Amino acid sequence: MTEHPNAATARRSYEAWNIGGLDVLREGFAEDVVFHFAGNNAMSGTYRGQDAVMDVLVSQPGFPHAEMETILASDDHIIAFLNVTAERDGKTLDVVLAMPMKLNAEGKIREVWYLANDQRGYDEFYS
């Protein structure tokens, strides 16, 4: 089965993230993009707009690395499963994030949720 074009969009964004390609990452977002971070940590909450989203993403300590486990895509949605690792002040983060996304009519990322399989570990790392 060939990859859906929207899966390629998501893959490009993650590759950009891992090499610090923030301009490419930003271009993948709609102007009115919304990010939802679950849990109880310094990042938890909802962020609206490209600027707010980019600010919170770059503010993540330890510059987490995202290893793609799989990408599911349809015309309107993407769900990425990622193994995310980071280190910070002797603490280690190693979680699987499920990241559902909605796309707009131009194929840009419009809404994203961060869901960690080990939310407590995620909260501790980012607290």
Partner 1 sequence: MAEHPNAGLIREAISLFNRGDWDAYREYFTEDVVWHVGGNHPLSGDYRGRDAIFEYFARVRDLTGGGLRTEPQDILADDSHGGVFTRVTADRDDRHLDVVLAQAYRINPDGKFTEYWALADDQDAVNAFWS
Per CB under 8 A, which region of 10-18, 32-40, 52-60, 86-94 contacts partner 1?
32-40
Given the structure tokens 């690792």, which residue do they identify?
Answer: 85
Residue from the set 11, 26, 65, 77 that interacts with partner 1 by CB under 8 A: 77
Count of alpha carbons within 13 Å of 101, Cβ hemisphere only? Answer: 29
Q: What is the largest CA-CA distance in the chain?
A: 43
Q: Is 3 in the site for partner 1 (CB under 8 A)?
A: no
Q: Does 52 bind partner 1 (CB under 8 A)?
A: no
Q: Is 19 in the site for partner 1 (CB under 8 A)?
A: no
Residue from 13, 43, 93, 111 that binds partner 1 (CB under 8 A)?
A: 111
Residues that bind partner 1 (CB under 8 A): 1, 36, 38-40, 46, 69-70, 72-74, 76-79, 81, 98, 100, 102, 111, 113, 115-117, 119
